[in-house]
Amino acid sequence: MSKPRGSTSCLAQVIELASPGERGASRRAVLAHALPCFNARGIEAATIEDLRQRSGQSVGTIYHHFRNKEGVAAALFFAGFDDQSRAIAARTETAADAHAMVVALVGAYVDWVSALPELAAFLFMARETVAQGPYGDELRQRLEARYDPIDTRLAEGVHAGLITELPTELIPALVLGGAESYCRGWLAGRRDAKPSAYAGVLAEAAWRSIAA
What is the DSSP code string of 125-190? HHHHHHHHSTTHHHHHHHHHHHHHHHHHHHHHHHHTTSB----TTTHHHHHHHHHHHHHHHHHTTS
What confidence score (pLDDT) does residue 7 get?
A: 53
pTM listed for this prediction = 0.93
Which residue ranges form the domains of the chain, and what is each CATH number?
Answer: 11-210 (1.10.357.10)
Label residue 168 by pLDDT band (50, 70, 90): confident
What confidence score (pLDDT) does residue 2 get?
A: 44
The pLDDT tens digits of the residues spanning 72-109 come to 999 999 999 999 999 999 999 999 999 999 999 999 99
